[in-house]
Amino acid sequence: MDYFSANFLLIFAVAVLVITLRARSKNKGKQVLPGKQIAIVGQELEAPLGVETPLVCLLDDGQKFGDGFQEKTAPALPHNDLCQCQFRKVVLRNYDIFSQTPAPESPRSSDLGRLKRAEARYYKYMLITHHREAGEEVRKTYADLARRVNVAPAFSDAVKKHLSLS
Protein backbone atom coordinates (compact mmCIF):
# COMPACT_ATOMS: atom_id res chain seq x y z
CA MET A 1 0.00 0.00 0.00
CA ASP A 2 1.32 3.37 -0.98
CA TYR A 3 0.78 5.84 1.89
CA PHE A 4 1.71 8.84 -0.19
CA SER A 5 -0.77 8.24 -3.00
CA ALA A 6 -3.44 10.87 -3.61
CA ASN A 7 -6.31 8.40 -3.08
CA PHE A 8 -5.02 7.22 0.32
CA LEU A 9 -4.41 10.78 1.57
CA LEU A 10 -7.89 11.85 0.40
CA ILE A 11 -9.62 8.91 2.16
CA PHE A 12 -7.55 9.52 5.31
CA ALA A 13 -8.45 13.24 5.39
CA VAL A 14 -12.18 12.51 4.93
CA ALA A 15 -12.05 9.94 7.77
CA VAL A 16 -10.37 12.41 10.14
CA LEU A 17 -12.92 15.09 9.21
CA VAL A 18 -15.88 12.76 9.87
CA ILE A 19 -14.47 11.66 13.25
CA THR A 20 -13.83 15.27 14.29
CA LEU A 21 -17.33 16.43 13.30
CA ARG A 22 -18.98 13.54 15.17
CA ALA A 23 -16.97 14.27 18.32
CA ARG A 24 -17.94 17.96 18.20
CA SER A 25 -21.65 17.19 17.74
CA LYS A 26 -21.63 14.83 20.75
CA ASN A 27 -20.01 17.43 23.04
CA LYS A 28 -22.02 20.41 21.79
CA GLY A 29 -24.60 20.55 24.63
CA LYS A 30 -22.37 19.33 27.47
CA GLN A 31 -19.97 22.24 27.80
CA VAL A 32 -20.67 25.31 29.90
CA LEU A 33 -20.40 28.31 27.65
CA PRO A 34 -17.99 31.07 28.64
CA GLY A 35 -19.83 33.73 30.59
CA LYS A 36 -22.59 31.37 31.73
CA GLN A 37 -22.59 31.17 35.51
CA ILE A 38 -23.98 28.50 37.78
CA ALA A 39 -25.18 29.53 41.25
CA ILE A 40 -26.59 27.81 44.33
CA VAL A 41 -29.07 30.02 46.16
CA GLY A 42 -30.22 29.46 49.72
CA GLN A 43 -30.43 30.88 53.23
CA GLU A 44 -27.97 30.87 56.10
CA LEU A 45 -29.15 31.01 59.70
CA GLU A 46 -27.27 33.60 61.71
CA ALA A 47 -27.55 33.73 65.51
CA PRO A 48 -26.10 36.48 67.69
CA LEU A 49 -22.95 35.35 69.47
CA GLY A 50 -23.35 36.11 73.13
CA VAL A 51 -23.64 34.60 76.58
CA GLU A 52 -27.45 34.90 76.60
CA THR A 53 -27.96 33.18 73.21
CA PRO A 54 -30.02 29.97 73.56
CA LEU A 55 -28.23 26.67 72.89
CA VAL A 56 -30.50 25.71 69.99
CA CYS A 57 -29.63 28.98 68.24
CA LEU A 58 -25.89 28.43 68.71
CA LEU A 59 -26.14 24.88 67.36
CA ASP A 60 -28.04 26.03 64.24
CA ASP A 61 -25.81 29.07 63.63
CA GLY A 62 -24.09 29.00 60.25
CA GLN A 63 -26.23 26.22 58.73
CA LYS A 64 -27.25 26.73 55.13
CA PHE A 65 -30.66 25.72 53.80
CA GLY A 66 -31.96 25.37 50.26
CA ASP A 67 -32.20 23.05 47.27
CA GLY A 68 -28.44 23.02 46.66
CA PHE A 69 -27.49 22.37 50.30
CA GLN A 70 -27.65 19.30 52.52
CA GLU A 71 -30.47 20.75 54.64
CA LYS A 72 -33.39 21.49 52.32
CA THR A 73 -35.89 23.12 54.67
CA ALA A 74 -35.13 25.84 57.19
CA PRO A 75 -36.44 25.63 60.77
CA ALA A 76 -39.26 27.86 61.89
CA LEU A 77 -38.12 30.98 63.69
CA PRO A 78 -38.04 31.95 66.48
CA HIS A 79 -36.65 28.82 68.13
CA ASN A 80 -37.95 29.99 71.52
CA ASP A 81 -38.78 33.22 73.36
CA LEU A 82 -35.12 34.37 73.60
CA CYS A 83 -34.28 33.59 69.95
CA GLN A 84 -32.93 36.47 67.85
CA CYS A 85 -31.86 34.39 64.85
CA GLN A 86 -32.19 35.73 61.33
CA PHE A 87 -31.88 34.28 57.86
CA ARG A 88 -29.37 35.75 55.45
CA LYS A 89 -29.52 35.12 51.70
CA VAL A 90 -26.59 33.07 50.39
CA VAL A 91 -25.50 32.83 46.75
CA LEU A 92 -22.59 30.52 45.94
CA ARG A 93 -21.30 30.89 42.37
CA ASN A 94 -19.20 28.37 40.51
CA TYR A 95 -16.20 30.69 40.30
CA ASP A 96 -16.36 31.25 44.10
CA ILE A 97 -16.50 27.54 44.82
CA PHE A 98 -13.70 26.47 42.49
CA SER A 99 -11.34 29.41 42.88
CA GLN A 100 -8.08 28.80 44.69
CA THR A 101 -8.32 31.96 46.81
CA PRO A 102 -11.06 32.14 49.45
CA ALA A 103 -13.44 35.07 49.42
CA PRO A 104 -12.72 37.67 52.10
CA GLU A 105 -15.01 37.22 55.09
CA SER A 106 -16.63 40.16 56.79
CA PRO A 107 -16.15 40.47 60.56
CA ARG A 108 -18.85 38.99 62.76
CA SER A 109 -20.40 40.97 65.60
CA SER A 110 -20.71 39.52 69.08
CA ASP A 111 -20.86 40.66 72.68
CA LEU A 112 -17.03 40.73 72.54
CA GLY A 113 -17.07 43.13 69.57
CA ARG A 114 -16.21 42.50 65.91
CA LEU A 115 -14.53 39.11 65.43
CA LYS A 116 -12.64 37.54 62.54
CA ARG A 117 -14.00 34.28 61.12
CA ALA A 118 -11.74 31.98 63.16
CA GLU A 119 -12.30 34.01 66.32
CA ALA A 120 -16.08 33.87 65.85
CA ARG A 121 -15.95 30.10 65.34
CA TYR A 122 -13.80 29.64 68.47
CA TYR A 123 -16.10 31.88 70.51
CA LYS A 124 -19.19 30.01 69.30
CA TYR A 125 -17.64 26.65 70.25
CA MET A 126 -16.69 27.99 73.67
CA LEU A 127 -20.21 29.38 74.20
CA ILE A 128 -21.66 25.94 73.42
CA THR A 129 -19.09 24.21 75.64
CA HIS A 130 -19.95 26.43 78.61
CA HIS A 131 -23.70 26.69 78.01
CA ARG A 132 -25.83 25.65 80.99
CA GLU A 133 -28.24 23.61 78.79
CA ALA A 134 -25.50 21.64 76.96
CA GLY A 135 -25.19 17.95 77.75
CA GLU A 136 -21.90 16.23 78.49
CA GLU A 137 -21.57 14.76 74.98
CA VAL A 138 -22.15 18.16 73.35
CA ARG A 139 -19.65 19.81 75.72
CA LYS A 140 -16.93 17.27 74.90
CA THR A 141 -17.51 17.53 71.14
CA TYR A 142 -17.40 21.33 71.02
CA ALA A 143 -14.48 21.57 73.46
CA ASP A 144 -12.51 19.36 71.05
CA LEU A 145 -13.57 21.53 68.10
CA ALA A 146 -12.52 24.68 69.98
CA ARG A 147 -9.05 23.22 70.60
CA ARG A 148 -8.63 22.73 66.84
CA VAL A 149 -9.33 26.37 65.93
CA ASN A 150 -6.18 28.44 65.55
CA VAL A 151 -6.59 31.71 67.47
CA ALA A 152 -4.19 33.97 69.32
CA PRO A 153 -3.57 32.97 72.95
CA ALA A 154 -4.56 36.48 74.08
CA PHE A 155 -7.97 36.10 72.42
CA SER A 156 -8.42 32.64 73.92
CA ASP A 157 -7.65 34.01 77.38
CA ALA A 158 -10.07 36.92 76.85
CA VAL A 159 -12.87 34.50 75.91
CA LYS A 160 -12.21 32.29 78.92
CA LYS A 161 -12.18 35.34 81.21
CA HIS A 162 -15.40 36.66 79.64
CA LEU A 163 -17.18 33.32 80.09
CA SER A 164 -16.07 32.87 83.69
CA LEU A 165 -17.30 36.36 84.66
CA SER A 166 -20.70 35.95 83.03
**pLDDT value for 108:** 87
Q: Is residue 76 part of a domain?
A: yes
CA dihedral 145, 148, 153, 155 (to 10 degrees): -40
Average pLDDT, the chain: 87
**pLDDT value for 29:** 60
Torsion-angle region of 91 (φ positive above 0: left; ψ -120 to 50: alpha; else: beta): beta
Tens-digit pLDDT profile for residues 55-108: 999 999 999 999 888 888 998 888 898 899 999 998 888 777 777 676 677 788
**pLDDT value for 35:** 65
Is the pLDDT at 1 greater than 70, yes or no? no
What gap in Å lies between CA 2 and CA 5, rounded to an integer?
6
**pLDDT value for 88:** 92
Q: Is residue 138 part of a domain?
A: yes
User: Looking at the DSSP assignment, which residues form a beta bridge with residue 144?
Assistant: none
Rounded to two decimals, the pTM is 0.71
Backbone φ and ψ for 52, nearest 5 degrees, come out as -90, 0
Confidence band of 32 (pLDDT split at 50, 70, 90): low
Range 26-36 average pLDDT: 63
Range of the domain at 141: 39-165
What gap in Å lies between CA 101 and CA 85, rounded to an integer?
30
Tens-digit pLDDT profile for residues 77-87: 888 988 999 99
Q: Is residue 134 part of a domain?
A: yes
**pLDDT value for 33:** 57
Q: Is residue 149 part of a domain?
A: yes
Q: Is residue 99 part of a domain?
A: yes
Is the pLDDT at 150 greater than 80, yes or no? yes
Is the pLDDT at 142 greater than 90, yes or no? yes
Total domains in the fold of the chain: 1
Backbone φ and ψ for 96, nearest 5 degrees, come out as -75, -40
- Percent of the chain clearing pLDDT 90 (strictly above): 55
Q: Is residue 2 part of a domain?
A: no
Q: Is residue 114 part of a domain?
A: yes
Q: Is residue 68 part of a domain?
A: yes
